[in-house]
C-alpha cells in the first residue's frame, strides 16, 4: 500500500482528534424520531463521516472519490462512516437505485458495519426515517418565530429574492404571527392545500449578501409516493433543511461535501445552531467541510447527461463498459483496488481542477501488473504455416509448450500453475508481424529473417501466399529444429525478436471488444457545449481474435494481461466457457492520440 499523503481534511481531523473538539454529543430526541443514537453516541471520541447519495441514479467515478474519501478517513482514523440515503425527494428516487448504490459501495471495498465493545452495529440510514423529527423541528422554528408559511407564487418569490447586487424584498406573508404560521403549516401537512400553493420558509435576512440566507424554503407540498414512507406525507423537507439535521441526528462529526455547497454552509450552521438553542439538538454540532469535486478528462459525470447517453442508445446501458459509472467501470475490468489507488493519488484539494483520464488507467495497470495472469491472444490474425513441420516433427504432431502465468512471483508466494498450449504445423500470428518488404529496422518476419515464436520454436520466414487483391493469406516459414524454448541449446540460434502467437489446433476464437474513450474531446460538456457532438464514433470495435487455451477457460470477470496488447477482462455478462468474450480495459501504456 502506498503512503497516504496528507491533505487539509486529514489535518482538520488530526487536530480535532488531538483536541477532542469534535467529540460527539448526546442527542436530545426521543427514540420514535427514528434517529439512531437516541441514547447518545456509544463512542463519542470517534470521528463520524457519511456518504449521503440521493438514490436517483447509478453512482459514477466522482461518487467513487467521495466514497473512498469518507469511508477511507473513517477507516484511517478509527472512526465510522455512515451509509445514508438522502431520500427526501420522492419523485426521483427508486429502490433499484438504493440496491445498486449499496452494491457499488461494497464492491469498492467498504461497508457500514462497525464493531464497538464486542457488538456489531449497522450504520445504514435513510433520511426519510427522520421525517417525524424534521417535521417537529420545523414546527419548533415556526413557534420560535424563525419560520413562516409563504403563499407567494414561485415567480413572485424568485423576483423578491433579489440578486447579487440587489437585496431581496420581504414577502407580505413574512409578518404573520407564529400561531397563524403554525395553523397554516399544519394545514399543509394535512393535505388542505394544493401542491406548490405555499412553502415553509426559514425567517433569516432578505438583505443578506448570501442569497442562500434570504429566507430559504424548507418545506414544500408535494403529493408523491415515497419509496420508503409511501403516502404518509404530502409535504417534504428541502435538501438544505434535511441534510444538516440528518448529520446532527447521526452524530456526524465531519460532514464532507463538494465545493458547490460552500455557500450553503452559513445556513447549515444557522439551522443547527437554532435547533440546539431550541434544545432539539445537542452541541457540539457537526461541521461541514468542502472539497473539489472530481473532474476527469474525456468523461462526463452528470447523472442527467449519463442518462441521456443511455436513453438515446449511445451506449448499451448504465453498465456499458465505456460508462464512467461504477457498474460500467466494473464491467470494463477496473478493480476496486485500482479505483481506491486512483482516489488516493488524486488526493483532495479545495480548488477545482481536471484530472487526466490516464491517471485512472495508470492506477489499473499498477494494480494488475503483478496480479493479472499473462496470456497470448492474436487480435489481427493471419496464418503462419511451418512448411517443414511434418518432416522435422512428424505429420500431425502437436508439441506441448508452457509459459509461466506470472513473470514475477513475490518471495514466499507459490507461483500459479504454468499455462499449457501446443504448437503444430499452423499457428496464428499478428498480421503486422510479417512484412514482405521490411521497413528500416523491422525485426519480425520477412523473407530470410528468423524470429522466435514466444515459448515455442525459432522459425525462419520463407515468403507468403496472397489472394487476387494482393492481400497476404498465409505467411510461410520453416521451423528450426532443436530450438524449443526451455530446452538445452535453445538459444544457440540467435534472433532479434520474439513474437506472440496462438496455435491453430488449440487456439479458441473469442469476441474481443476494443473499447476506447467515449468522447474525443477532453472536456466534452465544458462551457455548455453539446457533449453528444464529441462522441467518439470509434469507441467500441468488436473483433474476432484467437486466444490460447488458458484464456478460453477464464471465469467471468477474470482479468488478464494479453501479452503486448494490454489488459483485458472476461465480460461479466456475456463471457462463457466455450464462448469467450473479452473487454479491453486499457493498453499496456498510454497511447492515446499517438
Ligand atoms: P449528480 O449531480 O450527477 O446528480 P449528485 O452530486 O447530485 O450527482 P449525490 O447522490 O447527491 O449526487 O452525491 C452523493 C455524494 O457524492 C455527495 O456527497 C456528492 O458531493 C458526491 N459527489 C457527487 N459527484 C461528485 C464528484 N464529481 N466528485 C466528488 N464527489 C462527488
Ligand atoms: Mg445531489
Ligand atoms: Mg450534483
Per DSSP, the residues of 510-569 read EEEEEE--SBSSSSTTGGG--GGGGB-TTSEEEEEEEE-HHHHTPPTT-EEEETTTEEEE
As a whole number, mean pLDDT of residues 209-235 equals 96
CATH class of 8-126+238-291: alpha beta
Please check the confidence at residue 63 and state whether its pLDDT lies above 90.
yes
CA 153, 154, 160, 161 torsion: positive or negative? positive
pLDDT at 22: 75
Specify the pLDDT at position 282.
Answer: 85
CA pair distance 407, 368, nearest whole angstrom: 13
Sequence-distant (≥ 6) Cβ neighbours of residue 95 within 8 angstroms: 55, 227
Q: How confident is the model at residue 506 (pLDDT cuts 50, 70, 90)?
A: very high
Q: pLDDT (tens digit, 9 = 90+) per residue, 82-113?
A: 999 999 998 887 888 999 999 999 999 999 98
Residues in the chain: 594
| Residue 32 pLDDT grade (very low, low, confident, very high; cuts 50, 70, 90) | very low
Lowest mean pLDDT among 99-113, 180-194, 235-249, 580-594: 580-594
* 17 Cα: distance to centroid of ligand 2 (angstroms): 29
130 labeled part of a ligand binding site: no
In Å, what is the CA distance from 154 to each residue of 13, 148, 166, 193, 211? 41, 15, 19, 15, 16
Q: Catalytic residue at 119?
A: no
ipTM rounded to 2 decimals:
0.95
For residue 386 the three cell numbers come to: 511451418
Residue 594: band (very low, low, confident or very high) from pLDDT cuts 50, 70, 90: very low
422-474 pLDDT, tens digit per residue, is: 999 999 999 999 999 999 999 999 999 999 999 999 999 999 999 999 999 99
Q: DSSP secondary structure string, 28-47?
A: -S-GGG--TTTT--S-TTS-
Q: Which residues of 58-88 are buried (b: 16+ CB within 10 A; e: fewer)?
A: bbbbbbbbbbbbbbbbbeebebbbbbbbbbb
Give the rounded percent of residues in the chain with a pLDDT score beyond 70: 95
Mean predicted lDDT score pLDDT of the chain: 93
- Dist CA 419 CA 424 (whole Å): 17
**589 catalytically annotated:** no
In testing the pocket of ligand 1, which one of 49, 52, 66 has its CB within 8 Å of the most ligand atoms?
66
**258 annotated to a ligand binding site:** yes
C-alpha cell at 86: 438522502
- CA–CA distance, 420 with 402 (Å, rounded to integer): 4
How far apart, in whole angstroms, are the C-alpha atoms of residue 370 and residue 410?
9
Residue 590 in this model has a pLDDT that exceeds 70: no
Q: From ligand 1's centre to the CA of 363, what distance in Å?
A: 22
Predicted pLDDT at 2: 53
Looking up cell 469467450 gives: 580
Catalytic residue among 136, 220, 293, 443: 293
Q: Is 124 annotated in some ligand binding site?
A: no
**Beta-carbon count within 10 A of 29 CB:** 21
Q: Give residue 3's pLDDT.
A: 58
| Residue for grid cell 535453445 | 490
Confidence bin at 573 (pLDDT 50/70/90):
very high
In this prediction, residues 168-179 reach a mean pLDDT of: 97
What is residue 302's predicted lDDT score, i.e. its pLDDT? 92
pLDDT of residue 366: 97
Which is more confident, 92 or 407? 407
CA of 92 to the centre of ligand 1 (A): 15
C-beta contacts of 336-341 below 8 A and 24+ residues apart = 336/107, 336/108, 336/109, 337/109, 337/367, 338/363, 338/364, 338/366, 338/367, 338/368, 339/61, 339/64, 339/68, 339/108, 339/363, 340/68, 340/72, 340/108, 340/109, 341/2, 341/366, 341/367
Residues 169-196 have a mean pLDDT of 98
| Torsion angle in degrees (nearest 10) through CA of 541, 546, 552, 555 | -20
Tell me which of 22-36, 82-96, 271-285, 388-402 is least confident: 22-36
Mutate to test the pocket of ligand 1, among 7, 54, 57, 62 (most ligand atoms within 8 A of CB): 62
Q: Please tell me the predicted confidence (pLDDT) of residue 593.
A: 40
CATH architecture of 377-499: Beta Barrel (2.40)
Per-residue pLDDT, 42: 65
Cα distances from 496 to residues 376, 489, 530, in angstroms, run 20, 17, 50
Banded pLDDT at 577 (limits 50, 70, 90): confident
Nearest to 152 by CA among 178, 124, 133, 171: 171
The residues near 307 (Cβ < 8 Å, ≥ 6 apart) are 57
CATH assignment of 132-236, among 3.30.1360.30, 3.90.800.10, 3.10.105.10, 3.40.50.20: 3.90.800.10
Lowest mean pLDDT among 2-11, 285-294, 517-526, 546-555: 2-11
210 marked as part of a ligand binding site? no
**34 pLDDT higher than 70:** no
What ranges do the domains of the chain cover?
A: 8-126+238-291, 132-236, 303-347+354-372+510-586, 377-499
> The cell 483520464 sits on which residue?
357
The pLDDT value given to residue 529: 87
18 is catalytic: no
Q: What is the pLDDT of residue 526?
A: 86
What was the pLDDT predicted at 27? 46
pLDDT of residue 25 exceeding 60, the answer is: no
89: CB partners within 8 A, 6+ apart: 54, 56, 236, 239
State the pairing for strand pair 373-375/377-378.
unpaired
CA 220 to chain centre: 33
Report whether pLDDT(203) > 80: yes
Choosing from 25, 189, 303, 330, which is the catalytic residue? 303
Residue 30 banded pLDDT, cuts 50, 70, 90:
very low
Residue 36 has pLDDT above 70, yes or no: no
**One fold for 303-347+354-372+510-586 and 377-499:** yes
Ligand number nearest CA of 261 is 1
pLDDT digits (tens, 9 = 90+) for 130-144: 999 999 999 999 999
Closest ligand, as measured to the CA of 239: 2
- The whole-angstrom separation of Cα 5 and Cα 367 is 19
Q: What is the pLDDT of residue 28?
A: 43
Alpha carbon 170 to chain centroid, angstroms: 45
pLDDT higher than threshold 80 for residue 43:
no
pTM of the model: 0.93
**Are the beta carbons of 358 and 387 closer than 8 angstroms?**
no
Q: Which helix (H) or strand (E) holds 341?
A: helix 336-346
| Domain 303-347+354-372+510-586 fold | Ribosomal Protein L25; Chain P (2.40.240)
The three grid cell numbers given for residue 251, joined into one nine-digit string: 452524530
Residues whose beta carbon lies within 6 Å of some atom of ligand 1: 52-54, 62-63, 65-66, 257-258, 293-294, 301-303
Distance CA 336, CA 349 (A): 22
H/E run at residue 83: strand 80-85
- State in Å, rounded, how far the first CA of the chain is from the last one: 32
Amino acid at each position: 500500500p502506498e503512503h497516504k499523503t496528507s491533505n487539509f481534511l486529514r489535518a482538520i481531523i488530526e487536530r480535532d482528534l488531538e483536541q477532542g473538539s469534535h467529540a460527539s454529543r448526546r442527542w436530545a430526541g426521543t427514540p420514535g424520531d427514528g434517529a439512531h443514537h437516541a441514547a447518545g453516541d456509544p463512542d463519542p471520541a470517534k470521528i463520524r463521516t457519511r456518504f449521503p447519495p440521493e438514490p436517483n441514479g447509478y453512482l459514477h467515478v466522482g461518487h467513487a472519490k467521495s466514497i473512498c474519501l469518507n469511508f477511507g478517513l473513517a477507516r484511517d482514523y478509527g472512526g465510522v462512516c455512515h451509509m445514508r440515503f438522502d431520500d427526501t425527494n420522492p419523485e426521483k428516487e427508486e429502490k433499484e437505485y438504493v440496491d445498486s448504490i449499496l452494491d457499488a459501495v461494497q464492491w469498492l471495498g467498504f461497508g457500514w458495519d462497525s464493531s464497538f465493545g464486542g457488538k456489531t452495529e449497522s450504520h445504514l440510514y435513510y433520511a426519510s426515517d427522520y421525517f417525524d423529527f424534521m417535521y417537529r423541528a420545523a414546527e419548533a422554528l415556526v413557534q420560535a418565530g424563525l419560520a413562516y408559511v409563504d403563499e407567494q407564487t414561485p415567480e413572485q418569490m424568485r423576483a423578491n429574492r433579489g440578486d447579487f447586487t440587489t437585496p431581496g424584498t420581504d414577502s407580505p406573508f413574512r409578518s404573520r404571527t407564529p400561531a397563524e404560521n403554525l395553523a397554516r403549516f399544519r394545514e399543509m401537512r394535512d393535505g388542505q392545500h394544493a401542491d406548490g400553493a405555499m412553502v415553509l420558509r426559514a425567517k433569516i435576512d432578505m438583505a443578506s449578501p448570501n442569497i442562500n440566507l434570504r429566507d430559504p424554503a424548507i418545506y414544500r407540498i408535494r403529493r408523491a409516493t415515497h419509496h420508503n414512507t409511501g403516502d404518509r406525507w404530502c409535504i417534504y423537507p428541502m435538501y438544505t433543511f434535511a441534510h444538516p439535521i440528518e448529520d446532527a441526528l447521526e452524530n456526524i462529526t465531519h460532514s464532507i461535501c463538494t465545493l458547490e455547497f460552500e455557500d450553503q454552509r452559513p445556513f447549515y450552521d444557522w439551522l443547527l445552531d437554532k435547533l440546539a438553542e431550541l434544545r432539539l439538538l445537542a452541541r457540539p454540532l457537526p461541521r461541514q467541510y468542502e472539497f473539489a469535486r472530481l473532474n476527469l478528462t474525456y468523461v462526463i459525470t452528470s447523472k442527467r447527461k449519463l442518462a441521456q447517453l443511455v436513453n438515446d442508445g449511445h451506449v448499451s446501458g448504465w453498465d456499458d463498459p465505456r460508462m464512467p459509472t461504477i457498474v460500467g467501470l466494473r464491467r470494463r475490468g477496473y478493480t476496486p483496488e485500482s479505483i481506491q489507488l486512483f482516489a488516493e493519488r488524486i488526493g483532495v484539494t479545495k480548488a477545482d481542477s481536471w484530472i487526466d483520464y490516464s491517471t485512472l488507467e495508470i492506477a489499473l495497470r499498477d494494480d494488475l501488473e503483478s496480479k493479472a495472469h499473462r496470456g497470448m491472444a492474436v487480435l489481427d490474425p493471419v496464418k503462419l504455416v511451418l512448411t517443414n513441420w511434418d518432416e522435422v516433427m512428424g505429420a500431425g504432431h502437436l508439441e506441448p509448450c508452457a509459459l509461466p502465468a506470472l513473470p514475477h512471483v513475490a518471495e514466499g508466494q507459490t507461483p500459479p500453475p504454468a499455462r499449457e498450449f501446443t504448437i503444430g504445423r499452423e499457428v496464428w500470428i499478428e498480421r503486422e508481424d510479417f512484412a514482405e518488404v521490411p521497413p528500416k529496422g523491422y525485426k519480425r518476419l520477412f523473407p530470410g529473417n528468423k524470429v522466435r515464436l514466444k515459448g515455442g520454436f525459432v522459425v525462419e520466414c520463407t515468403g507468403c501466399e496472397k489472394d487476387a487483391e494482393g492481400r497476404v493469406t498465409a505467411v510461410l516459414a520453416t521451423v528450426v529444429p532443436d530450438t524449443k524454448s526451455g530446452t538445452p541449446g535453445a538459444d544457440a540460434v540467435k534472433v532479434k525478436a520474439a513474437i506472440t502467437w496462438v496455435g491453430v489446433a488449440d487456439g479458441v476464437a473469442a469476441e474481443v471488444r476494443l473499447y476506447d474513450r467515449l468522447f474525443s474531446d477532453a472536456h466534452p460538456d465544458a462551457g455548455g457545449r453539446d457533449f453528444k457532438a464529441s462522441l467518439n464514433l470509434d469507441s467500441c470495435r468488436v473483433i474476432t481474435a484467437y486466444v490460447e487455451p488458458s484464456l478460453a477457460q477464464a471465469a467471468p470477470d477474470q482479468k488478464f494481461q494479453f501479452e503486448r496488447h494490454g489488459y483485458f477482462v472476461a465480460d461479466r455478462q456475456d463471457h462463457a466457457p466455450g464462448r469467450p468474450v473479452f473487454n479491453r480495459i486499457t493498453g499496456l501504456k498510454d497511447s492515446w492520440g499517438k
